[in-house]
Structure 1
Amino acid sequence: MRAIQIHEYGGPEVLRRVEIEIPKPGPDEVLVRVVTAGVNFMDVHTRQGKYRDSRTYPVRIPCTLGMEGAGDVVAVGERVTNCRKGDRVAWCIAWGAYADYAVVPAARVATLPDGIAYDLAAAAIFQGSTAHYLLEDVARLGAGDTCLIHAASGGIGQLLVQLAKRRGVEVFATTSSAEKADVARARGADHVLMYEDGAFADRIRDMTHGKGVDVVFDAVGRTTLRDSFRATRTRGLVVNYGSVTGPMRDLDPYELGEAGSLFLTRPRLADHLADAPTVQRRANDVFAAILQGALDVEINGRYTLDNVETAHAALEERRQSGKAVMDIA
């Protein structure tokens, strides 16, 4: 079968198309014929070596890339009870989707409802589950609450805006351009601001009568995090779920006290996909919102195994907002 692997860390040039044997599922695993794979920053980060020492995401080289996908179960291992041969499924946080077939832990697999196509499932399962746990488990926002969503025109940002509005939350959003601001508004953001080298925090303070927002979702990292503190109310929550501009290595917890006794968390999706029922519950909520028309997942990039280097280059150059997928079958 075809597979895209890396045997060393580096740029898109380290991607290798290889022919390997179709794997066999072991106990608690399923074999899936991949129809569509998602294309994510996590794939780029894997290729660059950012998870080489991670315990949460223990992927090591050599490996087949692709940490989310959708397809058909063609074989199941011992003890698998949550799906069976012939089921249409999607999964994330299990590497190997850039291939014709992938062995996936059964606990990571969610069955698909009628009406959700493979490409939409592959585009929604990772980012949708991420937005779901951030709102449902971490922030626990409800009607009348306020939040700030950075990078609101990005894939997860767009879903956060839509799901927060579905809960009745007042949404402040930041973007880096007028074009991206239009995307955030189209998704339902109440107030859209430019970053302006951190001036967004001052504007939010003015707009909230000096209070600040209840929760900030910050996937940008180094260039925004301290200003995110300034935009957050006393005893509010800052959720740093990504570091697009790089990590902060000089943060003193004292700063959280000075900013108003803030809570800061750095969550990861893997810790919020504890078991098969949780995976299926999150997927069910995301897919239901899509089918109800309350959640729009835009696929604005399509690739194949033959031009995977182009897909990675587009991500690294920030030319890809929304979601990209790779057609395998």
Structure 2
Amino acid sequence: MTQRIRIYQQGTPAVLHHETFELESPSREQVVIRHEAIGVNFVDTMFRDGTFKVPLPFSMGVEAAGTVEAVGSRVQHLKVGDRVGYFFSFGAYADRRVIDASALIKLPDDISSEQAAGLLSKGLTAWALVRQVHGVQAGETLVVHGASGGVGSLLARWAKSLGATVIATVGSAGKARIVEGWGLDHVLRSDEPDLAARIKAVNGGRGVDVVYDLVGRQTLDASISALRDGGDLVHVGNASGSVAADTALLAARGIRYAQPSTPQYVNPQNQDRAASELFERFREGALGHLELTRYRLEEAALAHEAMAARKHVGSIVLMP
């Protein structure tokens, strides 16, 4: 029997239900994958806790990597034994699953399933943020709030590799010590007072060009205050709680406000190109060492608790 994590109601991590089920056969344009590693993303907690309403019961997870076990009759670009990954398809918290072949990205031989499950969703989000939402240019100064997390860690280092001055903020002294070793320009604590003033101080008293805010409630006011007039505010996540920006204030200052989602910018037409660039940046070391925290599939609730506590660095993966 196949294992999966489903929810029958939205709520705390306790609603994550581990169960067995009979896997269906793939249609003509689908494949069966045996998962080898499953990515845990902040958006998963939002589907679980009710931030986003979903039809119940709901099969959890959006990202995983593994090996193709069976192929539908119309699938031409994949065969049994191919190693593949994907970054946004519901039902990833399972040891095996059926999935549309168009969602899959072939993995290079030198990228493990664990690396792919830790990289694809977060790395393609970082690609979209630095290449599509705001094309980062050498000489710009930008802020990444939540720089120690899965997306933030990749985003901050990717932007630095493009020649930007990067000001990273993190939520604890322990995280600061880790991030300070990454070669970024400045690392600040987001839980200390007058964050906007401290950002401007390390930027010579000037507002910054771009802020990527992955934290939300705790940092959004500081994000707006730290920006120069005409800058870009990219509101990516709400790790500290959801909050709405004062759009009238942003408009008065000419600040462009974006709340992007990865599927807006990464799709079947460009996902292979985006993934290829992601893997190349990872190979050359621009994205640093991938920190992975591992839990068993049946420990999904513990993984969600760890993410809510914001104590981990890097990416969390479930191991079937």
The question of a shared fold, defined as TM-score above 0.5 by the shorter chain, is answered with: yes
**5+ residue gaps, structure 1:** 53-58
Q: Is the contact between residue 85 and residue 107 of structure 2 (CA under 8 Å) also seen in structure 1?
A: yes
Q: Percent identity among equivalent residues?
A: 37
Distance 1:73 1:173, change over 3 A: same
Aligned equivalents of 2:273 and 2:196: distance in 1?
35
Distance 1:168 1:229, change over 3 A: same
Q: Is the contact between residue 149 and residue 171 of structure 1 (CA under 8 Å) also seen in structure 2?
A: yes
Deviation at 1:196, TM superposition (A): 4.9
Query: Could you tell me which amino acid in structure 1 is paired with residue 5 of structure 2?
Result: I
SS of residue matched to 1:245: coil
Aligned to 1:154: 149
Alignment of 1:1-329 (within 5 A): 1-52=2-53, 59-77=54-72, 79-196=74-191, 199-249=194-244, 251-258=245-252, 260-275=253-268, 277-328=269-320
Distance 1:253 1:319, change over 3 A: closer
Distance 1:196 1:70, change over 3 A: closer
Distance 1:315 1:74, change over 3 A: same
SS of residue matched to 1:51: coil
SS of residue matched to 1:284: helix
Q: Is the contact between residue 91 and residue 110 of structure 1 (CA under 8 Å) also seen in structure 2?
A: yes
The two structures have a TM-score, normalised by structure 2, of 0.93
Aligned equivalents of 1:104 and 1:197: distance in 2?
45
Q: Is the contact between residue 33 and residue 74 of structure 1 (CA under 8 Å) also seen in structure 2?
A: yes
SS of residue matched to 1:321: coil
SS of residue matched to 1:222: coil
Q: Is the contact between residue 29 and residue 75 of structure 2 (CA under 8 Å) also seen in structure 1?
A: yes
Q: Is the contact between residue 108 and residue 273 of structure 1 (CA under 8 Å) also seen in structure 2?
A: no
Q: Is the contact between residue 4 and residue 16 of structure 1 (CA under 8 Å) also seen in structure 2?
A: yes
Aligned equivalents of 2:319 and 2:243: distance in 1?
36
CA deviation string 1:75-128 (max 9, x = no partner): 233543443332100111112122121222323211101111111111111111
Q: Is the contact between residue 142 and residue 165 of structure 2 (CA under 8 Å) also seen in structure 1?
A: yes
Aligned equivalents of 1:211 and 1:104: distance in 2?
49
Q: Which moved more, 1:162-171 or 1:11-20?
A: 11-20
SS of residue matched to 1:114: coil
Aligned equivalents of 1:97 and 1:310: distance in 2?
17
Deviation at 1:216, TM superposition (A): 0.3
Aligned equivalents of 2:317 and 2:76: distance in 1?
29
Runs (4+) of structure 1 exceeding 4 A deviation are none
CA deviation string 1:8-67 (max 9, x = no partner): 111122122211111222354322111111122222222112221xxxxxx532122121
Query: Could you tell me which amino acid in structure 1 is paired with residue 110 of structure 2?
Result: G
Aligned equivalents of 1:130 and 1:284: distance in 2?
14
C-alpha root-mean-square deviation of aligned residues, in Å?
1.8
Q: Which moved more, 1:151-160 or 1:174-183?
A: 174-183
Deviation at 1:198, TM superposition (A): 5.5
SS of residue matched to 1:141: coil
Query: Could you tell me which amino acid in structure 1 is paired with residue 259 of structure 2?
Result: R
SS of residue matched to 2:37: strand
Deviation at 1:182, TM superposition (A): 1.9
Aligned equivalents of 1:279 and 1:146: distance in 2?
28
Aligned equivalents of 1:173 and 1:186: distance in 2?
12
Aligned equivalents of 2:285 and 2:317: distance in 1?
21
Query: Could you tell me which amino acid in structure 1 is paired with residue 132 of structure 2?
Result: D
Aligned to 1:56: none
CA deviation string 1:232-264 (max 9, x = no partner): 112110000111222224x43221134x31011
Query: Could you tell me which amino acid in structure 1 is paired with residue 143 of structure 2?
Result: L
SS of residue matched to 2:273: helix
Distance 1:281 1:297, change over 3 A: farther
Q: Is the contact between residue 65 and residue 95 of structure 1 (CA under 8 Å) also seen in structure 2?
A: yes
Aligned equivalents of 1:296 and 1:208: distance in 2?
25
Count of matched residue pairs: 319
